[in-house]
Amino acid sequence: MSRATRPYALTPDTGRRHALRAAVSTLFLSVVPAGFARAAAAASVVAVRVWPAQAYTRVTIESTTPLTFKQFVLKNPDRLVVDLEGVDLNDELQKLAGKVGSDDPYIQQLRAGLNKPGTVRLVLDLKTEVRPQVFTLVPVAEYKNRLVIDLYPAVQKDPLLAFLDGQTAPDGALDSQLKLDTNTSAASQPAQQTAPPDRSPNDDVMAQADTKPIDRSKLKVDRLITVVLDPGHGGEDPGATGPAGNHEKDVVLSIARKLKARLESDPNIRVVMTRDADFFVPLGVRVKKARAVQGDLFMSIHADAFIRPDANGSSVFVLSDKGATSTAAKWLAQTQNDADLIGGVKITNTQDKYLAHTLMDLTQTATLNDSMRFGRAMLTELGGLNRLHKGAVEQAGFAVLKAPDIPSILVETAFISNPQEEQRLISEDYQDKMADTLHTGIKKYFSKNPPLSRTKLAQS
């Protein structure tokens, strides 16, 4: 054995040096991976979305881990600045600028850039003064962590009183009813709508409906019968999705628009929609909007799903204070009541008084009776168009039906989870027939239950 290959004999000094090197190596390994782990845990933006509407514009940034942010507003010109900390300027964030349309009511342009290492700055150049709400949402359904930027108009306006005999509504007359406690929900502001939304592609479909437009400016009106239509879901909340990928929120909005056109062919009826574009409205705000306009009827329109794809048929639901009438009704109510979690609402400790209490007073009991009458009239008409999922009006604890003084029903037009019914639901012909059916059901209810005690009709 040569000297080069002989085993190396460790002296006490060399042994101590090896031990010291080993200790340092262990310390290095214990520190460096932690740094790498922190880098790996840095938030990564996986999706960005912009939802423009006249009521408010929402910007959503979806990430793998919760985002830390700072925000501030600048004047002259109006700008909102949001700094995202611990995140890189990746391709998704750079897509944000291209997602802002020229017709956005509030955002002129959106810029994203690296403010300093590890901090991305978003600058929203604004068309007008806004009241921003910025908050985070925990993962739910298919969504990961979300940072939500809601832009509400700083000065609220509402056109709903312009129906009154051609006179301009007094400033703030309806706003005082629509004003919500900002501590209740940061997303409660969609109730305070501004001007009607911009024309959408579906407006051409509405124009083709077999209805005669009414020139309301020539009518002498004390108070019109008010029907509130509530197309379910919207914006971040797609509702149920069919096997072919069609979303409930799109189908029910199209049906509601068609129904609105038919109802407004009657000079004594005005229609208020809780949403008339693709944006999210919290359940409590839908109820508040209906009450603020003194609705005579409230109808929430859905095309839901069930755990079995063979579930089919149309259904009508009213509120229950004693539990659901079937397992399916209970399941559907739970999925609808989860909409606020999916759509994105900043929850605080303050609960809406109309959604919190479970005991109903005498007024609400009378309203439930009217809701049952409305539901039966609608179910009869639906049975002439589609198979009925149940032959009777069902009851469950739907949060959106909890207005204490407005007869309210929820209509499941069909099950979008059923492949055959999904194809019918996206058909223009079926949507027209459904709108006709719902229109007839409303007219027949009013023919037997006229709201004359609280409504004065239009006089030509």
Instruction: Please state, as a whole number, how many other Cβ atoms lie within 10 Å of the Cβ of residue 213.
Output: 9
Instruction: Please state, as a whole number, how many other Cβ atoms lie within 10 Å of the Cβ of residue 201.
Output: 6
Q: What is the pLDDT, as a whole number, of residue 201?
A: 37
Q: What is the DSSP string of 326-374?
A: SHHHHHHHHHHHTHHHHHT--B-S---HHHH-----HHHHHHHHHHHHH
Q: What is the pLDDT, as a whole number, of residue 411?
A: 95
Q: What is the pLDDT, as a whole number, of residue 343?
A: 55
Bond preceding residue 33 cis, omega within 30 of 0: no
Q: What distance, in Å, lies between the first and last C-alpha atoms of the chain?
A: 120
Q: Quote the tokens at residue 152.
A: 């509400």
Rg of the chain taking only CA atoms, in angstroms? 28
pLDDT one digit per residue (tens) for the chain, 460 residues: 444 444 444 444 545 555 555 554 444 444 444 443 444 457 899 999 999 988 899 999 999 999 999 999 999 999 999 999 999 999 999 999 999 999 999 999 999 999 999 999 999 999 999 999 999 999 988 899 999 999 999 987 654 443 343 333 333 333 333 333 333 333 333 333 333 334 333 333 333 334 455 554 454 445 689 999 999 999 999 999 999 999 999 999 999 999 999 999 999 999 999 999 999 998 888 888 998 888 999 999 999 888 778 889 999 998 876 654 455 555 555 655 555 554 555 544 434 443 333 334 444 666 888 999 999 999 999 999 999 988 899 887 777 667 778 899 999 999 999 999 999 999 999 999 999 999 999 999 999 988 755 544 444 4
Domains of the chain (ranges, CATH numbers): 45-153 (2.60.40.3500), 160-448 (3.40.630.40)
Q: Quote the tokens at residue 256.
A: 């509601």
Q: What is the pLDDT, as a whole number, of residue 61?
A: 97
Are residues 280 and 343 in contact, defined by beta-carbon separation less than 8 angstroms? yes
C-alpha span between 385 and 366 (Å, rounded): 30
Q: What is the pLDDT, as a whole number, of residue 320?
A: 74
Are residues 411 and 235 in contact, defined by beta-carbon separation less than 8 angstroms? no
Q: Quote the tokens at residue 237.
A: 């909340």
| pTM of the shown model | 0.68
Q: What is the pLDDT, as a whole number, of residue 305?
A: 83
